[in-house]
Every structure is written in C-alpha cells, then in structure tokens.
Amino acid sequence: MRLLKIFTVIVILAIVIIGALVFYAQRLDWNTVKPEVEERISKAVGRKFEITGDLHFTLFPLPRVSADGLRLANAEWGSAPLMLEAKAVSFTIAPLSILLGDPRATAITLDGVELLLEENADGRDNWDLDDVAAGDSSGDSSGQTVVFAKLRSVKANDVDVVYRQPGADPIRFHVDSARIGAKAIGSGQDVIVTGTLNDSAFSVKGALSPMSDFLLGRGLKGQVSVQASGFELSMNGDFGRPPSLVGTDFEVRGKGGSVPKIGALDGLPEDLRGEWQADLRFAGVKDGYRISDADVRVGEFRLRGDLTRDHTSGYRGELDIEGPDYKLNLDGQFGSLDGTQGLDATVKGSGTRLPAVGTLASFQEQIRAAWDASFHVNGTSSRLDLKDVSLKLGRSDLSGTLSLDRAGPRPRIEGKLTSELLDIALFWGVGDDSPEAQKSGKARGGKVFGDESVSLAWMKLADASLVVAAKRLEGNIFKYTDTLLRITLEQGRMKLVSEQGTIYGATASGELLIDASVEPPKLLMEAKARGADVGKIMRDWSEPPFMTGQGDFEIKLSFTGNSLATLMSTLSGETKIVVGEGQAEVGVLERMVRTVGLKTIGNLLGQEKVDTVPMNCFAANLSAEAGVVKADVLVMDTDRASIFGSGTVDLGKEKYDLLFKPKPKSVTLNTAVPIRLGGTFRDPTVSAEKVGALRKLAGIASLFVFPPAAIAGLVDFGAENNQCVKLAAESK
C-alpha cells in the first residue's frame, strides 16, 4: 500500500507539472526570448543572426519550437549580405529532456531556404565557422552543441543553393526535398535528396555515420551515390565535417554519357564532352585538397596522375595526358589553372599530330607530322618563359629559349633558337607523305598541287621577333646551309630574312614575306646565289641529278592565296638561271617526264642511244604572270647540238606546252627533230614535231627568236660571258 501511495503521488505531481508547463508554454510570449536566442547564436557563429518573424512553442503532439524568417550574415568579404535565409524552421524537442531541464532537439525542419556558399581569392570560404567558434573565449561552448546531441532527423524543403568560386560562373541548384535521418539515436543515418541542377533532375542516396558524431565535433563517414540525367557518381570514405573539406578522404567513381556543364566543366570544348569515366581519391587538407591515383577517361582522351590544390600557391602535381594522336606529361606547379601566374613546370610530349589547343589548333590540320617536345615553363600574370626548349617536328628541330609577353596591347613572342634542320615548307602542308595527305591527293582528281586551305589565323594572334641559327634551312625550291634567320611578325605580316649562309655551296641571300593581314594572303620571295652547285639543286628533283655544273640564279616571285593550288595559279615574277660547263643525264630526264618508248633527248641530239651528254652551258630567263610561266629564254648547248626552248607552263591548270628545237653541230645529226612536251603534270606527253625539209635546210634555230629584253636581263644578271646567253642573242 505504501508503494502504491508513493507511485500515485508521483503520477499526480507529474500531471500537475506537465499541466503547469502546458499552461505556461501556451501563455508565454516566446518573442520575449528572441533577443537572447539571437545573441547566443550570433556569438556562437561569429556573425549576425536574427529572427525576423515570430517565435512559437507547441507542446502537442510533440514539443516543438518554430521560428519564421531566419537570417545569417555572410562573411565580411562575401559578395552578398546574407549567407543563409529561411522562411521557417522548427525544432522538435524530446519531452523528457524538457522535464529534466536539459532540452534536446531530436529533429529539425527547414522550409524555403536560400543558401550562398562561396570561396574568396585567397582561399577562404564563407562556411568555415570553426575558427570563429575557436576564437570565442567567453566560456565553454560545448553547451551550444549539446542541445543537438540526440538529433536524428533533418528535413529541408524548397532549398536554393548558389556556389561561387573566383573566376568561374556560379553553380546553382535547387533541392526539392532533403532528408537525413536515423531510426534511433546513435544509429547510422540515411540520406535522400531530390532536386534539379541546370534544369536536370538529380537524386542523392546514401548511408552515413550517426548525426550525433557530427554534432559533437566528429566527421561523417559512409557512402553516397548521385544519379542525374546522363551520369552517376559514388563516393565512399570519410567526408569530414561538411561543407568544410578538412579531414575528408574518400574514393570517387563515376561515369556518364556526357560531361555535365557544371562550373569550370562548362568551358570544356565539345571533343571533351563525350562519354566519360572517372576513378580517383579525394582528400581535403587545411589549405586545399589533394586528388590522387586519378584515372579519368573522356571520349578518346585519358588523364592520370596526382594533383594538389593549395589556396595560396594554386595547383601542383604530375599528370599524364593521352589523346588520340599525342601524349603529354606535366610535372610541377600549375598556378590557378585559369592563368599563368605561378606556373613552374616541366612539359614533355610526343605524337603524330599537334594537339588542337590554343594557337596550335591553327596548325593541327595543316601540319601532319610526328613531333616530340620538352621544355620548362615559368609564368607570371603577364609573361611566360620557356627554357631548355627541344622540339622535333617532322624532319625539323628547334632548341633554345622562348618568351611570351602579354603586358602590351598584343602578345609578343621573342626567342633565340638553333636548328640542325628547319623545313618551313611543313607549315604549308607541302611535302607531306602521310596517309592523310596521300588520300587527299587522290581526292584531288590527279592534281599535283593541293587545294586544301591553310589557316594563317595564328599569325594575327601575336607579334614575334625570333633569331634562328640553322645548319640547314629548307623550303620547296631551296636549301640554305649555316644560315642566320631573322623572323619578325607584326600585325599579321611575317618576314623571314636570311642574313648569312650558303645555298647549294654558294654565298646567298634571301627574303620571304607572308602577309596574312589581307585576304587572301600574299607572299613575296626573293633569293640570289652565285656559284651554286647545280647538281645539288637538281638532286632535290632526281637522284642522280639530271644536270650538273656551277651556276648562278636569281628569283623574284609573288603569290596570292591560302592553298598551294591558289598560290601556284597566281604566281608572278621572274627567275634567271645560268649554268657553265657540266653534263646532263638523259635517262634521268626521260624518267622525270615519264616518256615511254620515245628517247626525247636522243631525238633532239640526233641519236637514239645516249645516257650522259656533256653540257657546255645552260641559260634560262623565265617570267610568270597569273600562274603561267613563260620561257623567254631557254637554251642548252652541248658538243653535238644546241637546244632552244619556248612555250609555257600553266601552274593553275597544271599543263605543259613547251617546244624544244635542236640545232645540230654536225651534218650527221640532221635527223634531229623538234620535241613538244604537253599534257598535264600527272600525265605528260612527248611527241616529235613534223618539220619540212625546207625548214631544216634553212636552220631550225633561225626560226627561234628570243625577246631582246629577256636576253638583256641575263646580261644585266652578269651572264654576258655565258655561251648560251650568246647563242640566245645570236638568235635575234
């Protein structure tokens, strides 16, 4: 009986107390405690916190404190006044904790939330409140979090989040609903989130360690998966204390049909937006984060390596990049990645085609050649310095130093380079024997000169001043040795001047001007040499050379166009060539013009079987206008006959129309007949001209008259003593 009485008294007291609490709670104006709540929270987070609406308390069915209109100020350096704004928030309180005078929240619900997360340029973020709390020396702060020690559920509805990073477009996403909850206090919690990102639906599911661990200062661990339109992502490990990255260490795996356009990923080119797969480890550190064991595939590209980001110095690490046509290795400090400040790295690479990156994209289509490169690069905000440059491109090579200065109105490149061999024809896609070039040649319908357009847009992007000391400098129709080449580029006009050097054994000078500031581009070329080895020149056309000897030449040519075909069809200018004693290889010349069964040179000389013809001299003065080259003077003299040439070569139509007339030096050679070279470059034709007996008796050479001005041009060139020039003059 006594125990029953005691129990009855306790029940009655409890009812009285609860009744009193209900009576008191329902009649208390909770807005009177708002200032104290705002002060406590403001002090805890180090920023102004305010409740703009009313504060309510209800006891049934569960004790609940709710507030309307919550605001949390942003960091002082933030882009907006508020970091957090919510229309309403409510806290469910454990009933027993109220009776014991130690209220504990078990659930939180938020509605209509606007959250701004942002990072500063110096690496600070606006959600890091740990340092603020640590700076509070007013007393023990454990009481500020103990109220949430029994929290097992957080719900949020209608949440808008904006994430800002320096130099990048903000990321915006909307959360329709989010729930983080556990079935019991201290047990693991389930995560379920649904929302939209860039107008595409996404969902998040996962299992994390108890919420109480997080609220009591420990980190979250577990597994989270994200699914959205076109991709899926999973993360497993230690997530630290979100949203801070400190203490995180988790694996990331993902794949998708297209790289999502989020933040910096939005600026990726289209060829990097294909199917992707990623496998890496992410770890947060105090001043940034570290990505290790990364293996990322996007379309035909693959990236592997380690990368660390420090808020102060930027990114550093080592990366291997593989594309369909190249491989790159980058090792060092990469700065902020959105500029060149702090760049200090070694770059190595090789491939069959140049990467389509930046200025190189202008070269990629026209330069189809294997390459290998290495250099060390240092960068500031306005300058790049490349040291220990070693580049091989096709047959060409370059070594030395380069710099890129962006401080002026236009970027400027300067450098000093050396080369064993520099083939400038490569930049016009000429002499390319790659499968792509051969296939393109077949598609041209038998044409020799390609009509593929060559982009010179890169010439308008920067100015340049370069000095290249090359042991061999080659183009399509010349080869310099031991030359000092000065290259200047101003406003799209490039000038190449050979200040010293030899060409085919002769002291020579030359100049090439490419003007890309106009459309179509224009080219001017001048070259002069005395005492050149003609055998070396002709060896570029045939082996063995079809002509040997020592001679002089002068070239003044102009072109207009952006393909080899258009350049040839607009060729204008003059070329003068005089050669002294030497020899001509008849068989080689026969093969060059693809004659079959017709010994052309033999016919010219009045005999069918001849291989090597001693040559006394050779002289030519060729003029060109609109792609048509005219033989104003064309004479070769041998011991057996003198051969006079006339006619034209149409470079635009790629057709020959040349006539070669012999003048025998012996009556035994009176059977020599004129030869006409016609047809196309791909399919030339050679035929014997029918000449009447009367014309033969009168002398073929008497029918051949060279323009006096053309002969005078050769005389002015200094060839007045050349026997062939004299023969041309006698034909007048």
Q: 48-57, 476-485, 605-614: which has the highest mean pLDDT?
A: 48-57
Question: Based on the number of CB atoms within 10 Å of its own CB, is 613 exposed (0-12), middle (13-18) or buried (19 or more)?
Answer: buried
Distances, alpha carbon 437 to alpha carbons 350, 397, 427, 429, 511, in Å: 20, 22, 14, 9, 28
Kindly report which listed range (133-142, 241-250, 611-620) carries the lowest average pLDDT score. 133-142
Spans of all domains in the chain: 2-162, 572-730
d(CA 689, CA 675): 6
On whether the CB atoms of residues 562 and 454 are closer than 8 A, the answer is yes
Residue appearing with tokens 């559920």: 153
Q: Quick one: pLDDT band at residue 20, thresholds 50, 70, 90?
A: very low
Helix (H) or strand (E) holding 465: strand 463-474
pLDDT of residue 539: 72
**Start-to-end C-alpha separation, the chain:** 154
| Structure-model confidence comparison of residues 523 and 546, the more confident one | 523
Lowest mean pLDDT among 331-335, 564-568, 703-707: 703-707
Task: Name which of 302-311, 435-444, 472-481, 560-569 the model is least confident about.
Answer: 435-444
Q: Read off the DSSP letter of residue 12.
A: H
Cα 409 to Cα 203, 403, 490, distances in angstroms: 49, 16, 12
CA dist., res. 266 & res. 505, Å (int): 57
Q: Which pLDDT tens digit goes with each residue over 654-678?
A: 999 988 888 877 654 445 577 888 8
If pLDDT is split at 50, 70 and 90, which confidence band does 624 have?
Answer: very high
Chain centroid to CA 39? 55
**Cβ–Cβ < 8 Å for 377, 343:** yes
Residue count (the chain): 732
What pLDDT, in 10s, does the model give residues 674-691?
788 888 888 888 777 654
Cα–Cα distances (Å) from 706 to 2, 658, 711, in that order, read 147, 14, 7
Q: What confidence tens digit (pLDDT) does each residue in 330-352 have?
A: 999 988 776 778 899 999 999 98
Tokens of 240: 């630290």
User: What are the pLDDT digits (tens) for 500-515?
Assistant: 777 777 777 888 899 9
pLDDT at 325: 86
Is 387's pLDDT higher than 50? yes
Per-residue pLDDT band at 98 (split at 50, 70, 90): low
Share of the chain above pLDDT 90, in %: 25
- Residue 150: pLDDT above 90? no
Cα 198 to Cα 78, 229, 263, 502: the distances in Å are 24, 11, 11, 64
pLDDT band at 307 (very low <50, low <70, confident <90, very high): very high
Query: What's the average model confidence in pLDDT over 458-475?
Result: 88
Mean pLDDT, to the nearest integer, of 449-457? 80
Mean pLDDT, the chain, whole residue set:
78
Q: What is the mean pLDDT of residues 92-104?
A: 69
CB 432 within 8 A of CB 449: no
Instruction: Considering only residues 279 and 436, tell me which one the structure prediction assigns the higher pLDDT.
Output: 279
